[in-house]
Structure 1
Amino acid sequence: MTDDSPVNLSEKEYSVIDMLQSLGLPRTEATAIVCLKDCRELRSLHIELVSGLRQPEVSVAMRPLRDRGWVDERSEKKSKGKGRPVKYYQLIVPFPQIVQTLEEEFLKDNREKMDALRRLRELEIMPEN
């Protein structure tokens, strides 16, 4: 996919977004990851056109992805006219590694919940003095 020819997301890509959401990622972040996963670099406008996200949603989605170290951002001044620089985004962590990280977070969260349930059961069993 090139930056010049936006294509709408496929049914499979929407399924990936749904699965990422089920693992706890917000919709906008999941959508941004799917847009970037098969590309070297995309302009913010391209992500907007492909995903249906609005410009502020793209910006907000990219912040936590940058914080996680998954996305890199660069700005480029417009060659003509005034206005804000054009933002370019790139997924810098391979998609399978993102999935592995989400899996590890999911397992850790579930272990903590199972531990809490076990402690609750133990408290329920113990007689009060």
Structure 2
Amino acid sequence: MQLGGYLIDFEVKILDENDLVFVSDLRNLGIQRNVALTLVYLSNVKEASSREIEIGTGLRQPEISLAINFMSDNKWIDSRMIRVNKKGRPLRVYSFCVPMETIYAFYELKAHKDYEESVLKINQLKVLIQKKDYT
């Protein structure tokens, strides 16, 4: 990677097949694709810049920004600025500030709420059908 005339050598984790299965499982729970990919990527590294997430996940910058904003709003990640070669604009890097269990609990609670809402709607329909006597 070249920044301001300097060549910087760094390694980027690329999601492997097991990671993509994990992403698929998260997607099946209703988690947005960009959030699932970013969650899995950050769970594999200590910290990462948006550019590293972009390379490692194949997401575009706007998709990463949306995922980062969602995770920041839920207080799942921290960010900090680092200087590269003490020149140019600082780079923002992201890392988890909560254990993955906290994130699992969030989605588990959401799934329970969604289920309860569905059951409530079905029961409301049953009551309406009985009142109208459609049978």
TM-score normalised according to structure 1 size: 0.84
Counterpart pick for 1:24 among 25, 30, 33: 30
Tell me, what secondary structure is at the counterpart of 1:37?
helix
Match of 1:58 in 2: 64
Tell me the amino acid that sits aligned with residue 85 of structure 1: P
Larger radius of gyration: 2
Report 1:77-116 matches (<5 A). 77-82=83-88, 84-116=89-121
Counterpart pick for 1:39 among 31, 34, 45: 45
In structure 2, stretches of 5+ residues that fail to align are 1-9
CA distance in 2, matches of 1:79, 1:8: 25
Tell me, what secondary structure is at the counterpart of 2:44?
coil
Tell me the amino acid that sits aligned with residue 57 of structure 2: S
Tell me, what secondary structure is at the counterpart of 1:9?
coil
Q: Provide, for residues 3-34 of structure 1, a one-character-per-residue CA deviation record: whole Å limited to 9, x for no partner.
A: x3213211111111112122222111111100
Match of 2:74 in 1: 68
Mean CA deviation greater in 31-40 or 52-61: 52-61
Tell me the amino acid that sits aligned with residue 37 of structure 1: S
RMSD over aligned Cα atoms: 1.8
Instruction: After TM superposition, give the deviation of residue 126 of structure 1 in Å.
Output: 1.7
CA distance in 2, matches of 1:102, 1:35: 18
Match of 2:5 in 1: none
Match of 1:126 in 2: 131
Structure with the bigger RCO (C-alpha within 8 Å, sep 6+) is: 1
In structure 1, stretches of 5+ residues that fail to align are none
Instruction: After TM superposition, give the deviation of residue 78 of structure 1 in Å.
Output: 4.2
Tell me, what secondary structure is at the counterpart of 1:87?
strand
Q: Does 1:49 align with 2:35?
A: no
Instruction: After TM superposition, give the deviation of residue 49 of structure 1 in Å.
Output: 1.4
In 2, are the aligned partners of 1:37 and 1:94 still within 8 Å (CA)? no
TM-score normalised according to structure 2 size: 0.81
